[in-house]
Amino acid sequence: MNTHRALALSLQFLTRWQHRLLAAAALAAGLAAMASAQVTVFAAASTKTALDEAAAGFEDASGLSVTLSYAGSPALARQIQLGAPADVFISANPGWMDVLQQEQLIDPATRLDLLANRLVLIASGRAAPPLDLETADLGAALGEGRLAMALVDAVPAGIYGKAALTALGHWPAVAPNVAQAANVRAALALVASGEAPMGVVYATDARAEPSVTVIATFPEDSHPPVIYPAAAVADGNAAEATAFLDYLRSPAARGVFARHGFGVPAE
Amino acid sequence: MSTEAAWLGPEEWQAVMLSLRVSFWATLAALPLAVFAAYALARWQFPGKQILNSLVHLPLILPPVVTGYLLLMVFGTKGPVGGALQQIGIVFAFRWTGAALAAGIMAFPLMVRAIRLSVEAVDPKLEQAAATLGAPRVLVFAVITLPMILPGLIAGTVLGFAKAMGEFGATITFVSSIPGQTQTLPSAIYTFLQVPGGESAALRLTLVSIAIALGALLLSEVLARRAADRTGGR
Amino acid sequence: MLRVSLHHALPGFGLDVQFEAPPGVTVLFGRSGTGKTTVIQAVAGLLRPDRGRVALDGELLFDTTRRHWLPPHKRRMGYVFQEGRLFPHLTVRQNLLFGQWFAPRGAKRESLDRVVELLGIGPLLQRRPGLLSGGEKQRVAIGRALLSAPRMILADEPLSALDEARKAEILPYFERLRDEIGIPMLYVSHSAAEVARLATTVVVLQDGKVQRQGTAAEVLGDSAVMPAGVRAAGALLEARVAKHHSDGLTELDAGGVPLFLPQIAKAPGSQVRVRISAHEVILSRQRPEGLSALNILPGTVEHVRTGGGPGAMVSLQTPAGRVLARVTRRSAQALGLETGAECFAIVKTVSIAPEDIGGG
């Protein structure tokens, strides 16, 4: 009540012109608020380059503005658990999406498997020789050097990488040499700078970084399928979120993803 | 990582022991440099003093990840300093020495600040008196200044140790997370938080962190008070 | 022999001094703020003057023209500060030994026991400086400086932080340093009484320049020079103890003239210096009869100095030495006191204060 009275009293002291100016400003602000409706997207780090491009396309097409936040999927999921104001969540593995679904933090009707990816072994440099994962002695190839991976117990890329190396029988030999980075992009950077001679990252990551070479691709049956589920967050802007997710399945967006090396999950 | 059976599994103990080792060496190595920097900033006038002051405080102001990245660029095996040191057998990349370097650099500004305050509290006239009695500068420092700054020195060291124990962003960016080498306590806690259901293990390790920090604080209080008694003459 | 020549810019004026300090106690005398502390700090090496040269017994300590500068810890000057500056975290004994630790091997050393006995600080040895009184601290400071086997003692107003009783207590220790240890001293002071008691040589500083140099008797007896102000003016007489009387008076022989003082603890035959405060001197053209004052000194007027005020400073030559008397200008004219006039200086025995009496 006091603020109202104060406001009313102070308004009385404005001149007529100041009144008009204030009214115009209020109107403009209202219009601006309607126009810059936002979609906040939490997405796994490995989708960055592709999603940036796709989101730009969405902004042009819809007039909505997109805010993108990239991190490791576990970190993003924890933030959503603690109430972060995201509208859309794109995870690098189904596990974290399941957790959020169990806690009813996502709208299950909007959940879809958006992207697929492959796991690759990379080496520093632009023209490293290829390596046959079935026959090669990976431990010997590494020597004293480090194998850069994302956190092998926590981050999806790391978990899949460890599973694949175990399935192929290389894990005991390489385990002591593994350098676990905070996320898959950090692992990529270590190999790109030459600090670590080899690394395990997604095919899309390797494509985005010119200073590394893919020297082997892990067979799809050596690790759980790399599926990126996407969903609208339960308490977010439902309409804008759905609009964004629909756009991501459009041919325009699919083209962007394909260009960056992502696959489409088997339906 | 085991999350049941023993209260802390072997890998978790490994993280605790590694953190203690890394922080101990980080603090020990940073201490003489911090004392020198604190003394220079407190007592001397020289061109570039403000620049030195800014450099000392840089790790306090930069985001830890940036500091970690700078360390990688300079001290990594491809970096100017790291490459040279590698020739003589000193390696920081992916080693506990790198973790200690990161922790030491992050702890350094806090130590300098605390020690500088202590030096400024010592009356320079006492140092003058010691000089007139024939003591060269180094001995003036050792026999007069050092005992008198001891309480502040201890406080600064403990503060540095605590900061080193808690250092994460620069460490994981510079030397990543390697169990037994660079997976310090904060790294282990961070990893547990990323695993669904890992909260209880994270909590246990957090409690260990708190216990170590409190223990260090207590020790510093006791030591500082004893040192103050000796110099206060009461 | 210390030879000093210094130029240094100070706020408000420039310091420009040249003087020599022969063996004995050389007092830098002057009002506060005339640059005395700057001079002594330059001699010690704690301050670097703009220009100048300082040499002790031929050894160059500092010379700007030759870019020579010996750091303080190599100069072997024992410095006694106004505030003592004892190390609070060390015991008295450790403070004392601190200087000894750094004294060079070949140097002539005093032993700890001798110094402790000289200064009476035996019972204090295990205490921390925080528990000492002002007087005790200064005695320890003197001992500490002495034990560093210095070639010279530098004292910067060592008594000004003490009350009158403490000053009276500590001043004799400086006299002992001068007489029993025989170490040369450069002593800064603004107190005429300290000058009178201690000084062999006096260098008077005014506005950063040396106004007058000479022996204590010469300088204090010079009415043109009153660095401590008119009220503190007083000439120095040198006398010998003749005998002690049973009614509590000591009789001195001052150039043949008897001088009576309240009893002093000096053996007959020993030399004393007595400062006669100019304010306590009454002048008479005739030898007075029936006066209570016991000290009547015949003398001849050297000159009478007047300023703008009502007073006149009369300078008298007596067999005991020069005596200054401050009287009114009116009286000086009425009595016809001018150069050559014969008159008598009358001084009450009881007006001679104990602090005005010192060893020879």
Q: Please give the Cα distance from B84 to A120 (Å, whole number).
A: 33
**Against a cut of 0.95, is the pTM above it?**
no
Please give the pLDDT value at position C197.
Answer: 86
Question: Residues of chain A with pLDDT > 70: what percent?
Answer: 87
Same domain flag for C224 and C239: no
Q: Which of A15-24, A37-46, B30-39, C349-358 has the highest mean pLDDT?
A: B30-39
Same domain flag for A96 and A124: no
Please give the pLDDT value at position C6.
Answer: 93
Q: Give me chain C's average pLDDT, please.
A: 88
- In the predicted structure, residue B3 carries a pLDDT above the cut 50: no
- Contacting A with CB below 8 Å, chain B residues are 1, 72, 76-78, 93-94, 172-173, 175-178, 183, 190-196, 198
Same domain flag for A194 and A132: yes
Query: Quick one: pLDDT band at residue B46, thresholds 50, 70, 90?
Result: very high
- In the predicted structure, residue C187 carries a pLDDT above the cut 90: yes
pLDDT in tens, B112-167: 999 999 999 999 999 999 999 989 999 999 999 999 998 889 989 998 999 999 99
In SS3 terms, A79-98 reads as HHHCCCCCCEEECCCHHHHH
Q: What is the rounded average pLDDT of the residues A173-184?
A: 91
- In the predicted structure, residue C100 carries a pLDDT above the cut 90: no
Please give the pLDDT value at position C342.
Answer: 92
Q: Which domain holds residue A170?
A: 119-217
Please give the pLDDT value at position A255.
Answer: 93
**B125 min Cα distance to partner chain A (Å):** 52
* Nearby residues of A3 by Cβ (< 8 Å), 6 or more positions away: none
User: Where is pLDDT greater, at B231 or B61?
Assistant: B61
Q: Which of C208, C228, C248 is the last residue of a domain?
A: C228
Same domain flag for C304 and C170: no
Same domain flag for A71 and A194: no
Amino acid at residue number C251? E
Same domain flag for A183 and A209: yes
Q: Chain C: list its partners (3+ Cβ pairs within 8 Å).
A: B
Instruction: Name which of A146, A155, A179 is nearest B194 (Cβ-Cβ).
Output: A155
Same domain flag for A111 and A53: yes
**C148 min Cα distance to partner chain B (Å):** 6
Contact assignment for B134 to C148 by CB distance below 8 Å: yes
Query: Quick one: pLDDT band at residue C266, thresholds 50, 70, 90?
Result: confident
| Domain at A104, CATH number | 3.40.190.10
Q: Does B touch C (3+ CB pairs < 8 Å)?
A: yes
Taking contacts as CB-CB distances below 8 angstroms, the residues of chain B near C98 are 130, 133, 135, 143
Contact assignment for C98 to B230 by CB distance below 8 Å: no
Same domain flag for C182 and C308: no
Tell me which of C37, C81, C87, C142 to substitute to probe the interface with B (most B C-beta atoms closer than 10 Å).
Answer: C87
Q: Which of B26-30, C269-273, C305-309 has the highest mean pLDDT?
A: B26-30
Tell me, yes or no, if B78 comes closer than 8 A to chain C by beta carbon.
no
Does the residue A24 lie in any domain? no
Contact assignment for A180 to B93 by CB distance below 8 Å: no
- In the predicted structure, residue A153 carries a pLDDT above the cut 70: yes
Please give the pLDDT value at position A4.
Answer: 62
Q: Dihedral angle at the C-alpha atoms of C180, C181, C186, C191, nearest 10 degrees?
A: -30
CA distances from C273 to B120, C193, C258, C277 (A): 47, 11, 14, 13
- In the predicted structure, residue C351 carries a pLDDT above the cut 90: no
Please give the pLDDT value at position A11.
Answer: 61
Crossing angle between the packed helical segments B199-232 and B10-43, to the nearest 10 degrees: 40
Q: Which domain holds residue C92?
A: 2-228
- In the predicted structure, residue C28 carries a pLDDT above the cut 70: yes
Structurally, chain A folds into a number of domains equal to 2
pLDDT in tens, C154-175: 999 998 888 888 888 888 888 8
Query: Quick one: pLDDT band at residue B233, thresholds 50, 70, 90?
Result: very low
Q: Which of C228, C263, C285 is the last residue of a domain?
A: C228
- In the predicted structure, residue B105 carries a pLDDT above the cut 90: yes
Query: Quick one: pLDDT band at residue C237, thresholds 50, 70, 90?
Result: confident
Is the ipTM of this structure higher than 0.85? Answer: no
HSE-up of residue C170 (Cα within 13 Å, Cβ side): 27
Does the residue A14 lie in any domain? no
Q: Please give the Cα distance from A155 to C332 (Å, whole number).
A: 108
Q: What is the rounded average pLDDT of the residues C35-54?
A: 91
Query: Quick one: pLDDT band at residue C105, thresholds 50, 70, 90?
Result: confident
Q: Which of C173, C195, C228 is the last residue of a domain?
A: C228
Q: What is the rounded average pLDDT of the residues A89-112?
A: 92
Contact assignment for A154 to B183 by CB distance below 8 Å: no
Q: Which of A11-15, C111-115, C144-148 has the highest mean pLDDT?
A: C144-148
| Nearest Cα residue in chain B from C89 | B231
Question: Residues of chain A with pLDDT > 90: what percent?
Answer: 55
Same domain flag for C106 and C211: yes
- In the predicted structure, residue B1 carries a pLDDT above the cut 50: no
Q: Does C touch A (3+ CB pairs < 8 Å)?
A: no
In SS3 terms, chain C reads as CEEEEEEEEECCEEEEEEEEECCCEEEEECCCCCCHHHHHHHHHCCCCCCEEEEEECCEEEEECCCCEECCHHHCCEEEECCCCCCCCCCCHHHHHHHHHHHCCCCCCCCCHHHHHHHHCCHHHCCCCHHHCCHHHHHHHHHHHHHHCCCCEEEEECCCCCCCHHHHHHHHHHHHHHHHHHCCCEEEEECCHHHHHHHCCEEEEEECCEEEEEEEHHHHHCCCCCCCCCHHHCEEEEEEEEEEECCCCEEEEEECCEEEEEECCCCCCCCEEEEEEEHHHEEEECCCCCCCCCCEEEEEEEEEEEECCCCEEEEEEEECCEEEEEEEEHHHHHHCCCCCCCEEEEEECHHHCCHHHEEEC
Least confident residue range of A156-170, C107-121, C260-274, C289-303: C107-121
- In the predicted structure, residue C4 carries a pLDDT above the cut 60: yes
Taking contacts as CB-CB distances below 8 angstroms, the residues of chain C near B234 are 128, 130
| Domain at C45, CATH number | 3.40.50.300
Q: Please give the Cα distance from C92 to C194 (Å, whole number).
A: 27
Same domain flag for C74 and C174: yes
Contact assignment for B176 to A193 by CB distance below 8 Å: no
Q: What is the rounded average pLDDT of the residues B57-64?
A: 94
Least confident residue range of A72-81, A153-162, B103-112, C227-236: C227-236
- In the predicted structure, residue A22 carries a pLDDT above the cut 70: no
- Token output for C224: 């043109």
Please give the pLDDT value at position C229.
Answer: 73
Does the residue A92 lie in any domain? yes
Query: Quick one: pLDDT band at residue A26, thresholds 50, 70, 90?
Result: low
| Domain at C307, CATH number | 2.40.50.100
User: Where is pLDDT greater, at C217 or A121?
Assistant: A121
Contact assignment for B195 to A74 by CB distance below 8 Å: yes
Please give the pLDDT value at position B234.
Answer: 36
**B163 min Cα distance to partner chain C (Å):** 31
Structurally, chain C folds into a number of domains equal to 2
Q: What is the rounded average pLDDT of the residues A190-210?
A: 91
Contact assignment for B195 to A153 by CB distance below 8 Å: yes
Same domain flag for C299 and C167: no
| Nearest Cα residue in chain B from A96 | B196
pLDDT in tens, B166-191: 999 999 999 988 888 889 999 999 88
Q: Please give the Cα distance from B162 to B146 (Å, whole number).
A: 22
Please give the pLDDT value at position C207.
Answer: 85
Please give the pLDDT value at position A15.
Answer: 64
Query: Quick one: pLDDT band at residue C346, thresholds 50, 70, 90?
Result: very high
- In the predicted structure, residue A237 carries a pLDDT above the cut 60: yes
Tell me, yes or no, if A197 comes closer than 8 A to chain B by beta carbon.
no
Q: What is the rounded average pLDDT of the residues A114-122?
A: 94
Same domain flag for A81 and A143: no
Range B23-232 classified under CATH 1.10.287.610: no
Taking contacts as CB-CB distances below 8 angstroms, the residues of chain C near B137 are 73
